[in-house]
Amino acid sequence: MKLRLSDTLNSLMLGGLLMASTFASADNKPTKPYWQDVQVVAVNKEYPRSSFMTYENRANALTGKFEATF
């Protein structure tokens, strides 16, 4: 009886180990390079900036209040 219980426990432990290793290896997905990954959108991207402003007319441009143009 004792030998039979030991064999059963060994086979259960071996089965559990095989299942655990299968699930652990399933997480190892091959990673894509960043230029093929659609989730990566900001590689070598600079912050947006403006070097000029548009105004409706010359008088508004001379006052320098660009907030009024929005």
Q: What is the pLDDT of residues 56-67, one digit of tens each?
A: 888 888 887 777
- For the record, the structure tokens of 66 come out as 């660009």
Mean pLDDT, range 3-10, rounded to an integer:
80
For residue 38, give Cα distances in angstroms to 17, 30, 32.
36, 15, 10
| pLDDT computed for residue 44 by the predictor | 84
**Dist. CA 10–CA 2, nearest whole Å:** 12
Percent pLDDT > 70 in the chain is: 80
Q: Where are the domains of the chain?
A: 2-65
- Per-residue pLDDT tens over the stretch 17-43: 777 777 666 666 667 888 888 888 888
Query: What pTM value is reported for the model?
Result: 0.34
Q: Higher pLDDT residue, 45 or 19?
A: 45
